[in-house]
Amino acid sequence: MIEQIGTTAGLVWKTLSDGGRMNVKEVKKAAKIKTEKELYAALGWLAKEGKLAFEEAEGELIVFLA
């Protein structure tokens, strides 16, 4: 499972690198991630490494590269 989270984290990073700021729904769709569980595990991985920043706007969680 750790390997899959790392792979998904790479997809998330690439998606944000190419697309800039996005809400989590947009990231999930753009990166073609199947489940929210996979998405949030990857976001946590990248956040722990200090690679992401988050903000909330109009009730949406926005994520971008730090």
Q: Where are the beta strands (DSSP E) in the chain?
A: 22-23, 52-57, 60-65
Number of domains making up the chain? 1
Please tell me the predicted confidence (pLDDT) of residue 66.
96
Residue 53 structural domain: 2-65
Tens digit of each residue's pLDDT (9 = 90 or more) over 44-62: 999 999 999 999 999 999 9
Model pLDDT, residue 56: 96
CB-side neighbour CA atoms (13 Å) of 53: 7
CATH at residue 47: 1.10.10.10
> Given the structure tokens 């750790």, which residue do they identify?
2
For the question of whether the overall pTM of this predicted structure is more than 0.85, the answer is: yes
37 band by pLDDT with thresholds 50, 70 and 90: very high
Question: From CA 56, how far away is CA 6, in angstroms rounded?
Answer: 25
